[in-house]
Chains A and B, each alone.
Chain A
Amino acid sequence: MNALRDIRRRLVAAVVPIAVCVGALAWAGRGNETDAGASDASKAAEHFDKHVAPLLASRCLECHNPNEFKGKLDLSAKGAAMRGGENGAVIAPGDPDESLLWQYVEADEMPPKKPLADAEKEILRKWIAAGAAWGTDPIDRFAYTSDARAGYDWWSLQPVRRPVLPDAKSADVRGAIDRFVAVKREERGLVGSREAERRVLIRRLTFDLLGLPPSPDDVQAFAADASPDAYERLVDRLLSSPHFGERWGRFWLDVVRFGESDGYEYDKLRPNAWPYRDWVIAALNEDLPYDEFVAQQIAGDVLRPGDPHGTVAVGFLVAGPHDGLKPAGEVMLKIMRQDELEDVVGVIGQTFLGLTVHCARCHDHKFDPIRQVDYYRLTSAVAGYSHGEREMPAAASAAAVDALIAAAERRIRELEEPARRRILARRGADDDKGDEPLAALRPLAAWDFARGLDDLVGNADGEASGSAAITDRALRLDGKSGFVATAPLERDIREKTLVAVVTLDNLQQQGGAAISIQRVGGGAFDAIVFAERDLGRWMAGSEGFARTKPFNGPEETDASLRPVQMAIVYRVDGTIAAYRDGKPYGEAYHGGPLQTFPAGKTQLLFGLRHSPAGGNRLLAGAVHRAALFDRALSAEEIAALARDASAIVSSDEILAQLSPDERRLHRDLNDEVAALEKQRSKLKKQAVYTCVPQPGGVAHVLVRGNPQQLGQVAAAGGLSTLRGVDADFGLAPDAPEGERRSKLARWITDRNNPLFARVMANRLWHYHFGRGLVDTPNDFGFSGSRPTHPELLDYLAAEFVRGGFALKQLHRSLVSSATYRQASTVADDAPKADSENRWLWRKSPMRLEAEVVRDAMLAAAGELNAAMGGPGFHDFRAYVHRTTQFYEPLDVSGPDVQRRTVYRTWARGGRNPFLDTLDCPDPSTTTPKRSVTTTPLQAMAMWNNAFVLRMAEKLAARVAREAGDEPEEQLDRIYALVLSRPATDDEREVLGDFVEENGLAALCRVLLNSNEFMYVD
C-alpha cells in the first residue's frame, strides 16, 4: 500500500512540472498552430491537455478526484476515468450517447449547481465522439485557475517581472510609482489632487513614520523651509528616528499576533517575552534587510548559533497563544499539538507568503493550489518548535561582545588560512580530494598522540596519569589507571563536536570513554563512551545520562582490529548526532538543552569518562588522535575529516609559516579574543521567552486531519505550487529540526520566491495609504482581493528585491511619491465615482490607531517618556485567582506607564478597554488590517476616560507653563501641540470666550476629542 502510494506520489511529482509548463504554454501560445509533423495521437493528446483537461479540472474534479471520490468516480486519471464509478463505465469512447458522463452533462444534472455552458458541453461531446483520447495522465487539477479556484497559473504565484514604466499624461508625476497610478486614473477619467500644504504634509509624515505628532518647532521649520529638497530631508530625518521602529514594529506585532500571556484557561503571563518586541524594533531601526529579518525569525537560533539575537528572533514562532493545560488523554494531546502546528504554519503562510496554507490541514486547499501533503511538509519543517524560556546573556551587550569576537576571529582566520593551505598542499601533493572543506576545519583544540600530549592548536596540553603513556605513536590506556587530563579551556563551549580516533583492546568492555569534556573536578560532562549501557555500542555519555539516549547504531566489530574514528556532534538545538568513520552512526536524537561548559572550568579527558578515575570509567585501548571543535560540524565536514586525518594543522606549523609581524598580530588577536571571552562570561543572564526546539520526529499526512490516521510520511519541504523556488529541501523525514527550519527560512526568503517580496511591498503600501494594492494583505490567494495596480505591485516588489530587501528604501519611495503627497480634501466637484479612492485621486484621510491616540495625547501633554525597550509596563493588575491568571484594568500614571504604547505588556486576557474601543486588535489572532470603527462606547471612552481627562489637564498645565497667561498665546500653543497648526482668528475669538468661562483643561479635552485631532489629512 505504501509502495503504491509512493509510486503515485513520484508520478504526480514528475507530472507537476510538465502540467505547469503545458498550462503556461497553453496560456502564452493560445491560438498558435501546433507542429505540423506531429502524429494524430499526439495531436489528440495535445487537444485533450489544452481543452478537455482544463474543463474537467475546473468543473468536475473538485468532487471526482481520488480523495473526494464522489459516486466512486475519479475523473483525474485515465485508468480510473475509463473504469467509471458506482454505476459502471461513464465514458464510451466514440459514442457520447452511450456515455453516462455525457448523459448527465447534457441533462444539466452534472455539475450539480452550475451546469456547463453549451460551448463547454460541445468540447466534451466532441472529445468522446472522437474516441476520448487522453493526454497528460493524471490531470493535475491544480494546474488551471477556474471560476472556483486558483491554479498554478494564479497571478500571485507567477515570478515577479519588472514591468516597463508606462507613459502618463498627468503633470503630477514625480517618479515611477506616480506613473503607474496616473495611468490607471487616466483610464477612468480621474484627476489627481494637488500637493498638500506643508503643515499637512509634516503632520501626515510624522504620524505615518513615527506614530507621533510633529513638534511645533519642527512644523514651523518645515513650513518655512524653502529649499527644494526640504521634503526629502524630512523623510530621511524621520526614517532615521528611533521612533520609526516603535511605530512600524507595532504593525509587525499585529501580524505575528504577538502576545505576552498564554491565553486559554491559565493565561499565564510571559514576563520575558519582551526581548522579541525589542528585537523587532531594533531590526527595523537598523534597517535589517527584510529577508534576513524574516530568516532570523524562523531559524535565527540555528542560522546564527551563539548569537543571542538569533535566539530572541525565533520568539516569532511562539508569539501566539499556547494552552499550557495538557490533558492526560493521549488523543486530545495529539490534537492539541496539531492545533499548535496549524497555528504556526498558518501564521508563517499568511505573514510571509500571503497564503492560507493552514486551510489544507484536513484536505487539499479548497481555493488555492495547495495540497494537503504540502501543508504537512510545512508542519514537518516547524515540527520542533515549542514554547519555553532560554537563559542567555543580556542580549544587547552580549551581541556587541560577540561581534568583536567574531571580527577578531575572522582576522585570525585570514592570517592563518594561506598558511594552512600551503601546509596541506605540501602534505598531500598527490591529494586530489580537494581541500576546500578541509581548509575550513579549524578545531579549538587537537591532539596527535604520535606527536605527544600537547594541544596542537591552543593551550589545552595533556598530562598523563597512572599508567597512561605514548607507545607506538598512540596513547596507550590500560583500563585500570591510565588516562590523560588537559589544562582548562580558555573559552566557553556551547555547540561542539568531539572527535577521537580510537582502538579498543576488547569489545566486551563497558563504560570507558575515548574523549570527554567535563567541568574540572567532575559534574557535567559529555563524552564518547563505549558500551556503558548497550553492549558493543557507542553512546554519548553524560552525567546521570542527562543527555544520553541510544543511537541504535550497529554493534562495533572493527575497533579491536583497527582504529575507528568516532565523532559526536552537539547542536545548539540540543540534537546529538554520532558518526563512525565519517558516516552517520545510528540515529541522531534530541538530548534536551545543550550543556554549556564555561571557560577556565572545563577540561578534556582521554581514556576516562569523568573524574574521579576508577570504576568502569576507564578505557582499555589506544587513542591515536583527538579534536574538539567549538561548533557543530556538518556531515560533510566529518566525512572529510575521516578521509584525511592530516586535515588538522597544528598552530605551531601555522605560526612557522607566518612572518614575525604576522606572528605578533596573531598573538595579539588571540589575547583579545581571550579577554573578550572573559568579559562575555561575566555578563548577566537574561531569560527570554522563545522557541525551545524539541526533536522534530517524523511528520505524516494526517487523513482528514486526524492524528489517529497516519498517511504518507512528509519530509520537511516548501509549497510545490510556487514558481521559481524549489520546494524540495532535500532532507530526510527525520532530519534534525534545526536543519528543517533553516531550509524553510532560506526557501521563504529566496529572492525568486514571488510572494515574499510582493506580500511585504503590499503591506507597506497598505499602512501608508490605508488600503493595500491588494486589499487582503494576508491573502494573495483565490479568496483574497485582486491587485488594483498589478504592474505597480510588481514594480515595487522587483525594486525591493533589487535593493537587497532594504525596507527603509521602500518606505522612502512610497512616501516620496506625488501620489502620497496629494491633499486629502475633497473639492465640491470631486468625483463620486470612486468614493473609496481605489484609484488614488487623493490621499485618504486616516484615523489615528489606538496606540497613536494614546501616544499623541502623552506627547501633546508633554508627558511622554521616550525611554525605549525593556520589560513592558503594566496597565493592569495581574493576579492569580485560584489557578487562573487574571488581569484587572487599572488607571495608572507615572513615567513607566507613560512610555509609548508599544511597550505595554500585551497580555491576552489583559486588554486595555480604552485601546479596545479604538480597535486595538486582539493579540490572539493575526491582524493584517485594523478595522476602523466608530461606536458610542468609543465616544464615551474618549470623552470620560480618566487617562484622557488627565492628559487634558496636563496639557492645560503645560500650556499655562510654556505660553504664559496671555490667552492668545495659550491658544496658539494648544493648537500647535494638538493640531500642528495655529488657531485662526475666528477660532481665537470663540475659544477665548470658552476658556474664560470653562477653563483651559476643558478646551484641551474638547480638542483631544475633535475629529481634526483624531484624523490625519
Chain B
Amino acid sequence: MSTSEFSTERAIDRRDFFSWAQYGLGGAALATLLVRDGFAEDAAASAQRGPKIPGEADDPPPHHSAKAKRAIHICLCGGLSHIDSFDYKPALAKDHGQKLGGDERPDVFFGQVGLIRKNDWEFAQHGKSGLWVSALFPHIAKMADELTVIRSMVAESSSHTPATFQENSGFRFNGFPAAGAWLSYGLGNDTDELPAYVVLPDTRGLPAGGTVNWTNGFLPARHQGVMFNTQGPAVRDLIPSREIGPSVERASRDLLVRLNARHLAERGGSDALSARIESYGLAAKMQLAVPRVTHLDDETAATQESYGLHRDETRDFGRNCLLARRLLEQGVRFVQLFSGGAFGSPRINWDGHEDVVQNHTQEAARIDQPVAALLADLRQRGLLDDTLVLFTTEFGRTPFTQSAADVVGKGRDHNQYGFSVWLAGAGLKPGVAYGATDDIGWKAVDKPVPWHDFHATVLHLLGIDHTRLTYYHNGIRRRLTNVHGHVVSEILS
C-alpha cells in the first residue's frame, strides 16, 4: 500500500492541474492510469474512432454505410386522423352519411360505429411532387417535396398507451427500451457534453405513461432518454440544489479527484473506478454545455420568427423544434418531441373522439409552422442530408364516426388498421407516398407497414441492421423489432 501518491508534489503542489472543467481529471498520475485503462485518449485518436461516446453493442454499427447520422422524432399523441391530413380519400365525400359496407363489424375501441364522415379539410396536391396534403397542415404542405409519406401503417393495438409503447419501443408492453435508447446503445453519441437521447415533452404535460415512454427498459441506465425541462435548469441536478460558493465548489472537486486518485492507485487501477472519476469530468462539461445549447436568444430574430416564437399558439412547440435543431448540431444522436400530453377532457392531444374539427384545428395550429420551419432550417443548413426526421402517431382515426349507428357524429374513434406517418431527410425518396388504405381509409390494403418494418427502415438509414442490434435480456437476444421487421426498401433513395 502506497501513501506516497497522495503526498507527492504531483498531487498536491500542482493545483492548477486540478482545474475541473478543463480536464475533469486530476493529476498526471491519474491521467496516465486512465490512459492505461483505456478511458482517456488523445483528440486525434478520438476523431478517428468516430463518435465521442461509443455505443456498446457487441456487434457495433455501422453494419453498412449510414445515410443518416442522427434523427429527430416528432411524436403526435392521441391519434392523428390520416384521412384528414395525409391520406386523401375522395370516396369519403361520396359515402358521407352512409353505413359502412360489407359484413364486417369493426372492432373499435369504444364500440360505437356511426356513419361515414367525409374529410373535414380539403386536400390539394403540393410542390413538384404533387403530394396530397390537406389544409390541416398548410405550412407542412409547402414542404411536400421533402416528405416521404407511408399511408399504409398498421398497429397492433387500438389502446393509446400500448400503441404508443409500440410506436416507440416495438412492443405493446411496459419495460422495453425506446428506439432512442436503442440508438444510444448502438451508435453512442457525437458529443460527450450532452446526452445521446434527449426528450422534449409537450409543455402542457407528459404523455400518458410519463417517463416510461423514454425508458431504457433493460438496457443500461445511461441510454435512458433525458428530459429537458422547460422551466428552471434544463436538466435535473445540473447545478447544486443549494448555494455553494465557487471556491468551496472548486476545492471540493479537487479534493474528490485526489482522494479518488489515491484510492485508485491503492487498488492497482480499475476500469470501473477510473470511469467513475471520468464521469465527474463529463458532468462538469455537461454543466457548461446545457445552458449554452438551451440559450435560444443566440438565434437571429428571423429564425425565431420562422419557428413561430413570436406567436402564442406556436411558441411552445416552436421553441422545442428550435432547441431540437441546436441539440442535433451539437452532436446529440436522437431528439424526441412530443405533441400532446395525457388523455382526458378537455383534450390536450390529438384524441378527437368528440369533435375532430375542433380538436385537430387546435393541435395542428401549435405544430404546423414550427415543424415546417424545422424542415426548412435543416435543409438550408445542409443538415437534412444526414439527418432523419420522423413524424408519427400511434394510430389513425376511423372513417366512420364515433356515434350512434345512424348518425354522422363529429368525432372519430381509434383506427389501428390503417394510418399515415411521414419521414424526411437522409436516404429517402422525397415527395412520394408509399402504400395505401382502402377506398375509405379504414384498412391498409396495399403494402401494409407494421411498426417493426418502420423501425427496421429507420435503423437501416442509420447504418444499422435491425437483426444485429441486439441485447441479451432474460434468455432472449432482444431487438427493437422483436423477431419481425423488413426494411421498406422502396422508399429509400
What's the nearest-Cβ distance from chain B to residue A800, in Å? 23
Contact (Cβ within 8 A) B475 A784:
yes
Given A339-B172, A783-B472, A924-B174, decide whether A941 and B342 contact each other with a Cβ distance below 8 A.
no
Q: In the complex where A329-B108, A778-B474 touch, is A931 in contact with B220 (Cβ < 8 A)? A: yes
Q: A778-B474, A933-B221, A1002-B252 are in contact. Are A944 and B175 (CB under 8 A)?
A: no
With a cutoff of 8 Å between Cβ atoms, the chain B residues found around residue A914 in the complex are 237
Looking at B12, B161, B208, B224, which has the most chain A CB atoms within 10 Å of its CB?
Answer: B208
Pair B242/A931 contact, Cβ less than 8 Å: no
- Taking a contact as CB atoms under 8 Å apart, the answer to whether B344 and A882 are in contact is yes
Asked if B405 is at the interface of the complex by the 8 Å CB criterion, the answer is no
| Interface residues as binary, A898-918 with B (CB distance below 8 Å gives 1, 0 otherwise) | 000000000011110110111
Residue of B nearest to A909 (CB): B210
Report Cα–Cα, A1012/B261, bound state, in Å: 11
Known contacts A330-B107, A935-B222, A1012-B259; decide if A884 and B343 are in contact (CB<8 Å). Answer: yes
The contact of B286 among A264, A350, A783, A936, by CB within 8 Å, is: A936
A779-B475 contact, Cβ under 8 Å, with A884-B343, A909-B212, A940-B238: yes
A915-926 near B? 1/0 per residue, CB < 8 Å:
011110010111
B231-245 residues with Cβ-Cβ distance < 8 A to A are: 235-242, 244
A356 to B258, CA, bound (A): 47
Query: Given A327-B109, A882-B345, A1010-B260: A332 and B237 within 8 A (CB)?
Result: no
Select one of A265, A882, A998 contacting B252, CB under 8 A: A998
A824 CB contacts on chain B under 8 angstroms: 267
A945 to B107: give the CA distance in the assembly, Å: 49
Q: Report the minimum CB–CB distance from B191 to chain A (whole Å).
A: 11
B109 touches A936 (CB 8 A): no
Interchain CB contact under 8 A, B159 and A323 = yes
Contact B161 A329 (CB under 8 A): no
- Cα distance A987–B6 when bound, in Å? 9
B296 interfacial by beta-carbon distance below 8 Å:
no
| Contact in complex: A1011, B475 (CB < 8 Å) | no
Q: Please tell me if A767 contacts chain B, counting CB pairs below 8 Å.
A: no
A1015 to B272, CA, bound (A): 10
A328 lies within 8 A of B474 (CB): no
Q: Report the bound CA distance from A830 to B256 in whole Å.
A: 27
Return chain B residues, CB-CB under 8 Å to A830. Answer: 268
A999:B248 contact, CB within 8 angstroms? yes
A944-B237, A1011-B277 as given contacts; A263 in contact with B212, CB under 8 Å: yes
Residue A397 interfacial (CB < 8 Å): no
Within 8 A of A (CB), among B254-296: 255-256, 258-260, 263-264, 266-270, 272-273, 275-280, 282-283, 285-287
Is A994 an interface residue, CB under 8 A from the partner? yes
Give the Cβ gap from B46 to chain A, nearest Cβ, in Å.
16
Which positions 174-207 of chain B face chain A at CB distance < 8 Å?
174-176, 192, 195, 205-206
Mark contacts of A925-968 with chain B using CB atoms, 8 A cut-off: 1 yes-contact digit, 0 otherwise: 11110011111111111011110010000000000000000000
Residue of A nearest to B1 (CB): A825
CB distance from B288 to the nearest CB of A (A): 12
A328 touches B111 (CB 8 A): yes
Q: Is B121 an interface residue (CB 8 A)?
A: no
Taken together as a complex, chains A and B put the C-alpha atoms of A467 and B344 apart, in Å, by 64
Among residues 270 to 296 in chain A, which have CB atoms less than 8 Å away from a CB atom of chain B?
none
For A939, the chain B residues whose CB sits under 8 A away are: 276, 279-280, 282-283
- Counting CB contacts under 8 A, is B65 at the interface? no
Contact partners of B111 in chain A: CB under 8 A: 328-329
Assuming the contacts A265-B161, A941-B237, A945-B237, asked whether A916 and B224 have C-beta atoms less than 8 A apart, the reply is yes
The answer to whether B159 touches A332, judged by C-beta atoms less than 8 angstroms apart, is yes
Q: Is the CB of A1006 within 8 A of B255?
A: yes
A937 touching B195 in the complex, CB below 8 Å, given contacts A331-B107, A883-B343: yes
Bound-state CA distance A606–B345 (Å) is 56
Q: Which residues of B contact A990 (CB under 8 A)?
A: 6, 12, 258
Residue of A nearest to B212 (CB): A909
Complex formed: what's the CA distance from A1002 to B242 in Å? 12
Report the bound CA distance from A260 to B33 in whole Å. Answer: 45
Q: For the complex, what is the distance from the CA of A1005 to the CA of B252, rounded to whole Å?
A: 8
B441 to chain A, nearest CB (A): 19
Q: Are A327 and B158 in contact (CB under 8 A)?
A: yes
Within 8 A of A (CB), among B104-143: 107-111
Flag if A329 contacts B109 (CB, 8 Å). Answer: yes
**Those of A345-368 within 8 Å (CB) of chain B:** 350, 355-356, 359
Contact A1006 B256 (CB under 8 A): yes
Q: How far is the CA of A781 from the CA of B110 in the complex (A)?
A: 43
Contact A350 B158 (CB under 8 A): no
The smallest beta-carbon distance between A198 and chain B, in angstroms, is 16
A936 and B255 contacting across the interface, CB-CB below 8 Å: no
Q: Tell me, in angstroms, the Cα distance from A945 to B237 when the chains sit together.
A: 5
Q: A908-B212, A949-B240, A986-B6 are in contact. Are A994 and B475 (CB under 8 A)?
A: no
Q: Which of A932, A941, A994 contacts B272 (CB 8 A)?
A: A932
Question: Is A1009 a contact partner of B256 (Cβ separation < 8 A)?
Answer: yes
B173 lies within 8 A of A343 (CB): yes
A85 to B476 Cα, complex, angstroms: 32
Asked if A984 and B3 sit within 8 Å, CB to CB, the answer is yes
Question: In the bound complex, what is the Cα–Cα distance between A749 and B195 (angstroms)?
Answer: 46
Asked if B418 is an interface residue, CB under 8 A from chain A, the answer is no
| Bound Cα distance A997, B108 (Å) | 69
Return A443 CB to nearest CB of chain B, in Å: 49
Write the nearest CB–CB distance from B86 to chain A, whole angstroms.
25
Q: A338 vs B460: C-alpha distance in the bound complex, in angstroms?
A: 32
Once A926-B474, A940-B238 are accepted as A-B contacts, the answer to whether A916 and B273 lie under 8 Å apart by CB is: no
Q: Which of B158, B241, B286 contacts A945 (CB 8 A)?
A: B241
B159-A940 in contact (CB<8A): no
- Contact A356-B476, Cβ < 8 Å, known A882-B345, A940-B237, A1006-B256: yes
Chain B hits for A265, CB < 8 A: 159-161, 208-209, 343
Report the bound CA distance from A1003 to B472 in whole Å: 41
- Indicate the member of B258, B475, B477 with the most A CB atoms within 10 Å: B475
Which chain B residues border A779 with CB–CB below 8 Å? Answer: 474-475
B389 is an interface residue with CB less than 8 A from chain A: no
Residues in B neighbouring A1005, C-beta threshold 8 A: 252
CB of B79 closer than 8 Å to a CB of A: no
How many angstroms between the C-alpha atoms of A884 and B342 in the bound complex? 7
Partner of B251, one of A332, A908, A994: A994
B108 touches A886 (CB 8 A): no
When chains A and B are docked, how far (Å) is the Cα of A759 from the Cα of B159? 37
Contact for A1012 among B159, B217, B263, CB less than 8 A: B263
> Which B residue's beta carbon lies closest to that of A884?
B342
Is B475 a contact partner of A332 (Cβ separation < 8 A)? no
User: Which B149-166 residues sit within 8 Å CB-CB of chain A?
Assistant: 157-162
A909 touches B209 (CB 8 A): yes
Measured between beta carbons, the chain B residues less than 8 angstroms from A991 are: 255
Q: Is A937 in contact with B222, judged by CB distance below 8 angstroms?
A: yes
Nearest A residue to B345, CB-CB: A882
Tell me the minimal C-beta distance from A834 to chain B in angstroms: 14
Residue B211 interfacial (CB < 8 Å): yes
- For residue B3, give the distance in angstroms from its CB to the closest CB of chain A: 6
A933 touches B222 (CB 8 A): yes
Contact check, B255 vs A994: say whether CB atoms are below 8 A apart.
Answer: yes
- B162 engages A323 (CB within 8 Å): yes
Residues of B within 8 A of A910 (CB): 210
With beta carbons under 8 angstroms apart, the residue of B210, B224, B263, B272 that contacts A934 is B272
Instruction: Tell whether, in the assembled complex, residue B282 and residue A328 are in contact, meaning their CB atoms are under 8 Å apart.
Output: no
Cβ of B226 within 8 Å of any chain A Cβ, yes or no, is yes
CB of A525 within 8 A of chain B? no
CB-CB nearest in chain B for A325: B159
Partner of B157, one of A332, A913, A1011: A332
| Closest 5 pairs (CB-CB, A-B) | A882-B344, A328-B111, A925-B175, A356-B475, A329-B107
- A264-B174, A332-B159 known; 6 new pairs, CB 8 Å cut-off, are A356-B474, A845-B267, A922-B212, A936-B279, A999-B248, A1011-B259
A-B contact pairs, 9 of them (CB 8 A): A267-B212, A356-B475, A830-B268, A882-B342, A935-B221, A937-B286, A938-B279, A994-B255, A1002-B252
